[in-house]
Structure formats: C-alpha cells, structure tokens
Amino acid sequence: MSRPRTLAMAVVAGVLTIFVAPAAAFATPAVSGTETMPVYSYQNAVRESVWVQTSLDNDGDGVPDRVAVDIVRPREAAARHLKVPVILEGSPYYACCGRGNESELKEYDASGTIAKQPLFYDNYFVPRGYAFVSADLAGTNRSTGCMDVGGREEVLGAKAVIDWLNGRARATYADGTPAVATAWTNGKTGMIGKSWDGSVANGVAATGVEGLETIVPISAISSWYDYQRFNGVLRAPDYPEYLASVVSGRPASVCAATVAGLDQGSDDATGNYNAFWASRDFRPDARKVHASVFIVHGINDTNVTTTQFAQWWSRLDVPKKIWLSQMSHVDPFDIDRAAWVDVLHRWFDRWLFGLPNGIDREPQARIETAPGTWVNERSWPASGAHQTKVTLGNGDGLTGTLGGGSSGGFRTWTDAPDLSEAAAVASPNTAVPGRVAFLSAPLSSGVRVSGTPAVSLRVQVDKPTTELTARLVDYGTASRVDYLGNGEGITTLDTSSCWGASTTADDACYLDTAEDVVTSDHAILTRGWQDAAHHVSLRFVTPLQPGKWYSVTVPMQATDQRIARGHVLGLILQASDNEYSSPQSVGATIRLDLRGSSLSLPLVGRLPASGATAPIVSTAPAPSTFAPMRVQPELPS
C-alpha cells in the first residue's frame, strides 16, 4: 500500500490567497489561484442518512416512495454557516454489485449511518469544500418503490434529491424528524456516475431541473431502447426484468406488477420502439438540458455502445467536454488516473464553485489515438471528417473491393447463426459460409474514421426478415488495447495509490491499473446491426417479400480510429450475430446487389482507388469454437 498522495497545486505568483467568508455565504475558506484546497477534515466530516420523499408510489402501498440518501459533508463549513455545493451519484448498485474496479459497496455503522462510500469522490472532494451525496435509486438498497429500469420512478426519484437540496422536497431522518438541506448547501449540484449511474445523470439533466449545474456521465446510456435493442434486433430476451431482479432491494411480491409492466412494455416479440421506450429515451429532451456536460466513453465499449454518447453529444447545446479512450467499459480513473482526477477537480471547481480556471475555454475533446497516446482537439467528431461514399466492387467474385468505380455483381450468402465474430473477420480472402468480405487497397497514407459509419445494402431476402450485421476491420499489425480481454482494456496491478483522505472505515487507496496492450494483425473498429423488417421505421415491422429488392441501411456504432499507412480496411457482412444479440429470425438467404450498395465513412483523408481484385490479407487462425460469447445479458455497470 503506497502512502497517501497529494496532487500538485498551482499557486499563482507563489502566493496562497485566503478567503474568509461571512456567515451563510457560499465560499470555500482556501483557494490557491483558481483551485479548491483540501482544508477540511474528512475524519471529522458530518455523515448522515436521510430519506427523500418523491411524488410517486409505484409499489402501490399508498405511501409516497422514498429515496435513501447518504451524505458526507465538511463539519467545519457547517459550523461556520458556509453553504457548500454537492456532488451527487445515484446508483442501483450500492448493495448488490458494487462500484468501481474493486466493486465497493456502501457500509453502515451500528446506528445505520453511512460509514463507507464507494469510490474516491467523498475522500477527495469533501476536504475541498464539497458535500458528497449518494442516492439509492428507487427499489434498491434502502429506498422504497420499485425499480423501473430507466423509467419515471428512477429518474424522478433522483430528481427529487436535487429538489430536496434546493428546498423543494421533503426528507426525514430514520426517526422521522425533518431533514433540511438548505441549512448547509446552496443547492448547486453536479451529478456523476459510470454506466447506469451516468444514465441517471443524463435522465435527470433532461428534466431541466433547477440546481443541477453539471453532469459527468461515464460510459452512460442516453436511450434505453438503443441499449437493449440494436435497430430492432433483440439484444437479450427479458432484459429489463433481468436488470430489475439483479438490483432490486424489495420483496418480489411487492414489485411483481412493475416487473410485469417491464415485460409487457419492452415488447420482445416485435423489437419495436414504442411508448415504453420513448419514456426511457432522453435524447429528445436534450434541449431542456441547461447543465454543462462532461462525457467520458470507451470508443470500443461493447456493453454501453458508442451510439449512446454520440447521439446525446450531438444534440446538446450547452458547455461540454468529451474524453474518448481505446477501452471498452472502463472508468477513466482506471485508465489515466492522475490526469482524470485533475481534470475532474477543475471541472467541478469551475461549474460548482465558479472558479475561473479556464477549463471551459480549453479544447473540447481528448482522444486516445493509440495505447497511452492522447491528443487534444477543438471538437468532436474531427473537424476535417467528411462523409465519404465508398463503393463496393466485385473483386474476384469472392472477396470484393472497397473504393474505386462502382461495378456490377452480386453476393449471395445464407445466414450461419453459429458463425463467431472471430471467424467472420479472419482470412477475408477465403470462403467462409455465412459472410462476405470487401477490402480496400493498402493505404498509401494513414486515414481516420471519426463519427458514425453506415452501410447501405440493396438486398433480396427469402424470409420476412433477417438480422444484418456489419463490421469495419483494420487489417494490419499494430499494438492495440485488448478491449475484448477480461479487463476490457486494463490489467489490475498489485500496487496501489491514494486519492484523498481516509478513515478507518473508508480509505482513499485503490489498486493501480495499466493498459492491457497486445500486438494483433487486425482489429474490429466498429460494428452495426439492423433488423431488415424495421428498415422503414423502428416503430413498426414491414415484412419483406421474397424476390423483392429492398434498400436497408445498417448504422454502425460511432467511432474514432486511425488506420495506418499500409494497412487494409475491410467491411465484413453477415446476417445474425449470436455473440452480441439474440437473433429472432435465422436461416435466411440474402442476395446483395453491389451496384446499389455502398459504405458511408466519416473520413479524414482518402482511401486509395481499388484494383481489379482485393489485396491478399493474412490473419492468425480464428478460434475453432463457434460458441456464443455471451450466454446472459451484461449489466450496464
């Protein structure tokens, strides 16, 4: 265990400026330049638990549902009548699954008062003049109500906490006496959280609630439909019910009606976007967001996929910032720890204390371009990216080409439900039943794909529908983050480092991590899925007629990847995908018209013109097993 570490603080002109605030003022007693300083005692902080009353009663007991809230705040600030801002995390995972790389749970003392908060937020920020507040989402841990998985109960329950912090809602202590927050906070609140927790922050921000000044959604959901469906393709059956059962803290009989509503509303049978999903889609309400937004996401996240951040980001008209790593579903604290703690500190100082530290004038985007290599950019997607139409060529009749003049020709394949991703993308010059491949010429100079690719396919299908799957592949040897490994891009080390103050019950020390880097001869850059019968609308099914030609667009996940000189870009098409989804219609035969099909790339640079035939690409042998990778749904954790 390493000794506690204090980050270096910038001191303007070498002078520490002390501000002593009048009673009831909003201030911090010590600022170095434009940075809050750790002057409050974490050991002696006020620790308390309250229950915030909501306007809902979805457990049907005739009593308003209550959200359990655990608070750690600086005692000295309260004694001096200084009102402090709040960092809030709402989560369903505090009792069932844990938070962070070490799966920390909440812990309470003998009286039921919070003794340990997961993660470093309270350890680091409470000494700097913030309160840290963690809320158990409705139906989880010590809250009442029933978990409705992204619905009104979840979002409005978390919003009620902000209303209470601003004097607009009621709360009580365990003994029933009133709990008043306005005595110690001015109500300025920032929400943070990874995955489901960050999704709650997105949802609450979309209500436009007064007092929410900023959110930091990490690997977060902005549309629960897109999390549990891929354009009409079912990701896993009975998914909302599964999620609710994992996190619920209530007896099954109490929440049976809510769970039944999840089953009925989610409509596995059709995969349609309906009123149930619309109520869990925060993107249309992006115009209501007035809080600043700092998005963090892994560009290779296969759990909460990248359309979640890209479509949210593009609709936000507020001060915003974005970090994109090469990881899968990993917290930035476990990627670039020192840089993350520093930027998060500055972000909260700017938006919750109003300190003019300039972070809002810095480049919006920080992007990991290769293992451990980061660049800052003015905006995202890259300003030089242009949507480029890439034609599909016939090649040698087996392996097609990307780029160059449009050519005629067809490809026909029959769905192979057990075809694994590894086998589908390996050896693109060979015949593999169930997939077709298209390759660019070797790149004469590096290019960058920044944004959301898509492939438009003109197809005939011999069944009323089929899943269509597209993968964009970089063929070429390089060192890459192993985002498909067990650590989703990181390895946990034996050493540790400390980020804040500690108590006996709650230390600020965490195991260090390192990027998991491998050398590979190819990498999947992005994926996309589409149910063909939803080609007209996601709101209804339009069955295909055998023998009739249809244009079906397969959107891919947003990405930002660089493809090096000499590498080959590949497009791999197949039908159903047993690893990332649960196909409902399999076995179709698809005929593809090349002249009526194309790939759309948000491209910086140019692909070379293709030759008459595709280049020869060799890859390591694919694994011999075709077993599905995922046998049960993932948690958005």
Q: What single DSSP character describes residue 81?
A: T
- Cα 432 to Cα 46, 346, 409, 413, 606, distances in angstroms: 64, 52, 19, 10, 29
pLDDT in the model for residue 10: 30
* Dist CA 378 CA 383 (whole Å): 8
pLDDT in the model for residue 28: 56
The CATH code of domain 386-479+520-604 reads 2.60.120.260
pLDDT in the model for residue 395: 94
* Dist CA 76 CA 336 (whole Å): 33
Mean pLDDT by 10 residues, the chain (637 residues): 33 30 45 90 97 96 97 95 96 96 96 96 97 98 97 97 98 97 96 98 98 98 98 96 96 96 97 98 98 98 98 98 98 98 98 96 97 97 96 95 84 96 97 97 97 98 97 98 97 98 97 98 98 98 96 98 98 97 94 97 95 90 55 72
What is the DSSP annotation of 491-531?
Answer: EEEEEEEEES---SS---EEEEEEE-EEEEEEEEEEEEEEE
What is the DSSP annotation of 272-306?
Answer: ---HHHHTTB-GGGGGG--SEEEEEEETT-SSS-T
Q: Is the preceding omega at residue 381 within 30 degrees of 0, hence cis? A: yes
Nearest Cα neighbor of 449 from 546, 365, 563, 536 is: 563
Report the first-to-last Cα separation within the chain, whole angstroms: 27
pLDDT in the model for residue 620: 87
Nearest Cα neighbor of 10 from 390, 256, 345 is: 345
3-state secondary structure of 532: helix
Spell out the domain ranges in the chain. 45-377, 386-479+520-604
pLDDT in the model for residue 88: 98
The model carries a pTM of 0.94
State the residue for tokens 């991703």: 421
Which residues are identified as catalytic?
195, 301, 329
- Cα 152 to Cα 145, 146, 195, 240, distances in angstroms: 11, 11, 18, 14
* Dist CA 636 CA 323 (whole Å): 19
Which residues, in sequence order, are bridge partners of residue 50? 69
The size of the chain, in residues, is 637
pLDDT in the model for residue 450: 98
Q: What single DSSP character describes residue 584?
A: S
pLDDT in the model for residue 404: 77
Helix (H) or strand (E) holding 155: helix 152-165
* Dist CA 54 CA 52 (whole Å): 6
What is the DSSP annotation of 89-139?
Answer: EEES-TTTT-BTTTTB--EE-TTS-EEE-SSSHHHHHGGGT-EEEEEEPTT
CATH among 3.40.1110.10, 3.30.1330.10, 3.40.50.1820, 3.40.50.2300 for 45-377: 3.40.50.1820
**Letter for the amino acid at 246?**
V
Q: 3-state secondary structure string, 391-439?
A: EEECCCCCEEEECCCCCCCEEEEECCCCCCHHHHHCCCCCCCCCEEEEE
